[in-house]
Chain A
Amino acid sequence: MTLAMERPDIAMTQPRRGVVATQPGKRPWTFYILATVFVLYVAALYGPMICIYILSFQDVRGGLVFPMKGHSLHWFIDLFTQVRTGDVKGSFDRSIKLAVLVTIITLVFSFMAGLAFRRRFFGDTFVFYLMIGSLVAPGLVLGLGTGLLFQWFGIGPAWYTSALGAQLSWTLPFGVLIMFAVISRFDNAWEEAARDLGASRWQTIRLVVIPILAPGLVAVALFGFTLSYDEFARTLQTAGSLNTLPLEIWSMTLNVTSPSLYALGTVTTVVSFVIIGVSIGAIILINKRRGVRANSH
């Protein structure tokens, strides 16, 4: 997972050819079997999601299953105007704000931690395993602990305090792990060269390190945003009285049995896809510019 956005670089540096196929052009029989497995996997991955997007465009007679009953935007309007489906607009608003906050903090903190982990330092193993622990700990257990902690200190839980921290305990380890992958391909000699030429520590980071690591940083931001935007388990007991969007969807799965639920699914997925598209677009653009600059020299 952590290396997802970084794969392209590595893949490009290695010559790739069909190893198992010894004669070029002729595919072994295993290719066709595995290709079928792959196609089925992708179909199962996307098929159900596509079903609910289609079903969310039914008209007022619509139900939870096929066949489609008419076409309209009824359930989308219903979603944002009806009180009985809950405060969708408010939770949507909060989720976006929270995700932006989490993204910024994750980006800055994991970048700094990534820089620290380039060399061994006293206590690095402790920090590393603390991070792994935070990543794999069951979200609800951490949620309970955080909730109790706030209760003992007499602080009321809220989405911008306890839920923010709880989400960071999940997004930061992810962010740092991606930084590990990104930084492992950073040559420390570049930084030393900048220093030798008289750059200050801050100038080195701003003018050398950040521009080189930019695509990786976009990947960290993408993870920060989407992990926060869809986070459920850790937020459940720390969000206080106001819901975030996943909590809203959760309560809808328990008591709403109309296509409103699907409409909300479609809306959140559109937001996710826009974020993914922008991030991947940004990475491609940065790499392309780099290619142009490298060629012009």
Chain B
Amino acid sequence: MSRNLTAWLYVTPLMLVLVPFFLLPILVVLAASVFETDGFGGLTPTVTLANYIDLLTSAQTLQLYTATLKFTVLTWFFTVIIGFFVAYFLVFHIRSQLLAISLFLICTVPFWTSNIIRMISWIPLLGKEGLINTGLLKVGVIDQPIEALLFSSLAVVIAYVHQLTIFMVVPIFNSMARIDKRVVEAAIDAGASRFDVMRLIIIPMSKNGIALGSIFVVSIVMGDFFVVKVMSGGGSASVVSAFYENVGVLQYPIAAASAVLLTIVLVAIISLILRVVDIRREITQ
């Protein structure tokens, strides 16, 4: 058998899932975005750009994207800072292998549990009568509970950072573990300061991990509506939560157009990140 044929035989099952459950749905959404609706969930296959024109001229779109980008940037910033230093600590400061592996596992275990549960677990802490408010009241820092802790933009960002820092820790850890420790020692022997080592060796050599983690974090935050909906208490909206409302009232074409726009924005951001890193080499290495 030829090499190509064998390889394709092996990827056929994968393609049998990806084509009907990724490629076709994307094409369907693309098609629906230029169709007209009869208002009851049915679609008329008349090609129109009205959905896009509505979407691009509405002030709400700009508002939603500003809100979503704000959450994305804030979450990205905190996850990359925390993720970087946690990974750095594990790779360069823990001397025992077994301890490093155990600590790494401790960081990864929550990834395998339910996101929703991890999100609602902030309620007893951030709520009006939650631990943080009660604590602050007792100490006397405040004399009225801060209501803005839960059901606010702050709570949304906290929930995102809580869920997504792991997506930074793991790829950055992988990149850092590949740095040859002798390079760092050579730099120190040659008189580099701790700051120089960080700036000239560690950061450039872990940039692939940072990029990979950023792709995960950005695409998850921009594609999420769940955390925004629950943690903001309905106060903030995001691109996807507006999309979901449209689906709820059977406005498929406008929802589809908004989905296509979001995908274009997302692809643009990811290709920007990909200019920094060769993702395929990073993953398969």
Chain A residue nearest to B117 in the complex (CB): A265
Q: How far is B29's CA from A80's CA once the two chains are assembled, in angstroms?
A: 39
Chain A residue nearest to B165 in the complex (CB): A41
Q: List 21 A-B contacts (CB under 8 A).
A: A2-B170, A3-B170, A4-B108, A12-B97, A19-B184, A49-B110, A51-B125, A52-B117, A66-B130, A108-B13, A121-B4, A127-B15, A137-B219, A138-B224, A139-B223, A140-B247, A177-B283, A232-B116, A250-B116, A273-B109, A275-B112
Cβ of B162 < 8 Å from any Cβ of A?
yes
Chain B residue nearest to A122 in the complex (CB): B4
Number of interface residues of B (CB under 8 A): 106
B243 with A141: CB separation less than 8 A = yes
Cβ of B65 < 8 Å from any Cβ of A?
no
Cβ of A46 < 8 Å from any Cβ of B?
yes
Within 8 A of A (CB), among B3-25: 3-4, 6-11, 13-15, 17-18, 20-25
Q: How far is B164's CA from A27's CA once the two chains are assembled, in angstroms?
A: 30
Cβ of A35 < 8 Å from any Cβ of B?
yes
Q: Which of A71-79, A81-89, A146-154, A289-297 forms contacts with chain B?
A: A146-154
Chain B residue nearest to A63 in the complex (CB): B129
CB distance from A188 to the nearest CB of B (A): 13
Interface residues as binary, A95-123 with B (CB distance below 8 Å gives 1, 0 otherwise): 00000000001001110110111010111
B contact residues vs A (CB 8 Å cutoff): 3-4, 6-11, 13-15, 17-18, 20-29, 32, 43, 82, 85-86, 88-90, 92-95, 97, 100-101, 103-118, 120-125, 127, 129-131, 134, 162, 165-167, 170-171, 173-174, 177, 181, 184-185, 188, 194, 197, 215-216, 219, 222-226, 230, 240, 243-244, 247, 252, 255-256, 259, 262-263, 266, 270, 279-280, 283-285
CB distance from A272 to the nearest CB of B (A): 4
Given the known interface contacts A7-B101, A48-B125, A230-B114, the answer about A16 and B131 at a Cβ–Cβ threshold of 8 Å is: no
A28 with B177: CB separation less than 8 A = no
| Residues in A neighbouring B10, C-beta threshold 8 A | 112-113, 115-116
CB distance from B21 to the nearest CB of A (A): 4
| Residues in A neighbouring B14, C-beta threshold 8 A | 109-110, 112-113, 127, 131, 172, 176
Given the known interface contacts A16-B95, A18-B92, A110-B14, the answer about A276 and B109 at a Cβ–Cβ threshold of 8 Å is: yes
